[in-house]
Amino acid sequence: MKNINEFLSKWGMVIIVPMILITFFKSCSTSSNVNALNNKVDELNKQNDSLFNQVQQQIKIEGLESEKRMIQSTDRKLMDVNRQSQIDKEIKELQKK
Inter-residue contact 36 to 63 (CB < 8 Å): no
20-75: pLDDT as tens digits: 888 887 777 677 778 888 999 999 999 999 999 999 999 999 999 998 888 877 76
The count of other CB atoms within 10 Å of the CB of residue 68 is 19
Cα 13 to Cα 5, 25, 68: the distances in Å are 13, 18, 82
Cα angle: 75, vertex 78, 83; to 5 degrees: 95
What confidence tier does 96 reach under pLDDT thresholds 50, 70, 90? confident
Q: What is the pTM of this model?
A: 0.55
Q: What is the pLDDT of residue 8?
A: 82
25-54 burial string, b = 16+ CB within 10 Å, else e? eeeeeeeeeeeeeeeeeeeeeeeeeeeeee
